[in-house]
Amino acid sequence: MKKIFTLTIAVLASFSLMADDFVLSFDNSATDKKSWTTTDGSTFTVDPAHGGSAWTIAGVTFFKFSDDKTYTITIPSDIVLEKVHVAGYTNGSSTAYFSKIAGQDVSDKKFPAKASGASSQTFNEFDVPLSQTGGTVAFEVPDGDQIALFLTFSGTLPVPTDPVSTVNISGSSSTYVNQKITLEATTDKRAESYKWAVNGTDQAGATSRSFDFTPTTAGTYNIVAYAKNSINGENWIASTAHVVTVSENLVQKEVTEATTWDWSKAGTGLADWTDGSNPRKNLDTVVMANVAGITNDATFNSQALRFAGQNPNKGGYAIGGFIQFKTTVAGYIQVDFSDTGSSGTRDPRYLKVNGTTNKTVSSKNTTKVTSAYIAVDAGTVTIGGAYEDDSPQYLRVYKILFGTGTIPTAIENTEAEVKTVKTFENGQLIIIKNGIKYNATGAIVK
């Protein structure tokens, strides 16, 4: 009997897949941005390459495809296609569309224009029937605006003719208590069934190629994947153990002196949280030193920072997220920041500190700016992003400077002195330093 499968670039949270659906997930880490890999190792390609990831909406990451191009998806020869489900929005101000997909005219299916933020973005979705085995599926994006989309292919797979003989989940991992890691098994032949065991105990409900593991206590865990197909019968084939080392979470340290956090030192590796990950994007807060998958530079005081967002080692990208530290002394901060994307229609983004939007400096698109000095009391300091109306928004932080005491005056913040002259103008003491005039309090005189 043939097995139903689903091949998808991304799957909306509202979609309900059958237990034996066959899922193809887009691999955005592929350097050529052209490859998908199915759960049994089959490879799908798209040519030319897509333009990278767009917004994540309802847990789904859409991908950008440029206008005035024809994209061709190559399907493995043993897969029978029955339909493709299309969902997308215009990554610009117009209402773009496909002129054709799989040779069928769908130009009447318009994709809505890009909204001001992911939370308010809508998209159009529709099905296109298919009837082919392997081959290619092409779609044409006419001249106009870029499209952000996901595609879900449905069809059937043939019964395997060779037994599974090897299963692999190579390597080892390290993580922290209550932080999820995901393992994926690969097999030499098409597998129809999977199961997983942790320290010798079969895991209930773990019956797919992918396995999510969320440890609740510190320790060492040996994880084994098993796979088989109908040719194997009852003979499960086991992988070698994947060893996961789980550490206790470090407690956030308080800041007692001047500190600078420079995100160019924030660690190698990639932590990209989503709505469905653990930690969850923007909702869960984690001390930066406890973020699994990245290694911080010794000069980056990661144990003093608490983060809620999307990419902790890239300084933000979070609506409703924040970066937070605790200080035992009053002082001031200065922050280098920017918006996280580029569009002519984007509104400027501002820095929000302890619930107050600082409107002295803003960033539009990805232009990095430096905030004014902002006084902070001893206690918790929370940094986020906002629109001018104070509503939370995406923000990227590049550097946070925390100083103790009072905010430096303009004259204290001046670089190395060339020449200082004191004089009187209109009965007022004027200090000329490096060619700039200051009054007796240190303020710049225009």
Give the model's pLDDT for residue 445: 67
Q: Tell me, what CATH number does 323's domain have?
A: 2.60.120
Please identify which residue in the block is written with the tokens 């200090």.
Answer: 431
Among 117, 137, 157, residue at a domain's last position: 157
Give the model's pLDDT for residue 317: 60
Same domain, 87 and 184: no
Name which residue leads in pLDDT, 169 or 57. 169
Same domain, 237 and 216: yes
Give the model's pLDDT for residue 8: 47
Name which residue leads in pLDDT, 269 or 24. 269
Give the model's pLDDT for residue 33: 58
Q: SS3 breakdown of the chain: % helix, strand, coil, rounded to 5?
A: 5, 45, 50
Beta strand 242-247 pairing with 172-176: parallel
Same domain, 227 and 298: no
Q: How far apart are the first and last CA of the chain?
A: 84
Using the predicted structure, report yes or no on whether residue 16 has a pLDDT greater than 60.
no
Using the predicted structure, report yes or no on whether residue 26 has a pLDDT greater than 80.
no
SS3 313: helix
Same domain, 420 and 385: no
Where does the pLDDT of residue 362 fall: very low under 50, low under 70, confident under 90, or very high at 90 and above? Answer: confident
Give the model's pLDDT for residue 174: 83
Structural domain includes residue 372:
yes
Q: Which of 72, 70, 76, 192 is nearest to 132 (CA)?
A: 76
Same domain, 126 and 179: no
- The model carries a pTM of 0.58
Give the model's pLDDT for residue 39: 46
SS (H, E, C) 113-168: CCCCCHHHCCCEEEEEEEEEEEEEEEEEECCCCCEEEEEEEEEEECCCCCCCCCEE
What mean pLDDT comes out for the span 376-405? 90
Distance CA 293, CA 247 (A): 13
Structural domain includes residue 78:
yes
Give the model's pLDDT for residue 157: 74
Q: Pick the most confident of 136-145, 161-170, 221-230, 290-299.
A: 221-230
Using the predicted structure, report yes or no on whether residue 109 has a pLDDT greater than 70.
yes
pLDDT per residue as tens digits for the range 273-321? 776 677 877 778 889 888 877 777 888 898 999 988 888 877 656 556 8
Phi, psi of 443 (to 5 degrees): -80, 150
Structural domain includes residue 348:
yes
Q: Report DSSP state, residue 203.
A: P
Same domain, 295 and 347: yes
Give the model's pLDDT for residue 273: 79
What mean pLDDT comes out for the span 37-54? 69
Structural domain includes residue 254:
no
Neighbours of 37 (CB within 10 A): 16
**Count of domains for the chain:** 4
Using the predicted structure, report yes or no on whether residue 12 has a pLDDT greater than 60.
no
Cβ-proximal residues to 276 (8 Å cutoff; 6+ apart), any chain: 13, 59
Same domain, 175 and 110: no
Same domain, 153 and 11: yes
SS3 314: helix
Using the predicted structure, report yes or no on whether residue 346 has a pLDDT greater than 90.
no
Identify the domain containing residue 292 by its residue range: 259-404
Give the model's pLDDT for residue 426: 72
What mean pLDDT comes out for the span 54-58? 75
Give the model's pLDDT for residue 345: 61
Element (H, E) at 84: strand 69-90
Using the predicted structure, report yes or no on whether residue 25 has a pLDDT greater than 50.
no
What mean pLDDT comes out for the span 205-227? 93
Same domain, 175 and 117: no
SS3 265: helix
DSSP 366-380: T--EEPPPEEE-SEE
Which pair of tokens denotes residue 84?
A: 């493709």
Using the predicted structure, report yes or no on whether residue 171 has a pLDDT greater than 50.
yes
Among 214, 247, 280, residue at a domain's last position: 247
Name which residue leads in pLDDT, 124 or 275. 124
Among 136, 157, 178, residue at a domain's last position: 157
Give the model's pLDDT for residue 34: 66
Structural domain includes residue 388:
yes
Structural domain includes residue 409:
no
Name which residue leads in pLDDT, 13 or 359. 359
- Average per-residue pLDDT for the chain: 80
pLDDT per residue as tens digits for the range 399-427? 999 999 999 876 555 544 455 666 767 76
What mean pLDDT comes out for the span 8-16? 36
Give the model's pLDDT for residue 344: 59
Name which residue leads in pLDDT, 253 or 299. 253
What mean pLDDT comes out for the span 83-88? 86
Where does the pLDDT of residue 66 fall: very low under 50, low under 70, confident under 90, or very high at 90 and above? Answer: confident
What mean pLDDT comes out for the span 430-440? 67
Same domain, 185 and 274: no
Give the model's pLDDT for residue 309: 84
**DSSP bridge pairs for 265:** none
Percent of the chain clearing pLDDT 90 (strictly above):
28
Give the model's pLDDT for residue 218: 92
Give the model's pLDDT for residue 396: 87
What mean pLDDT comes out for the span 384-394? 85
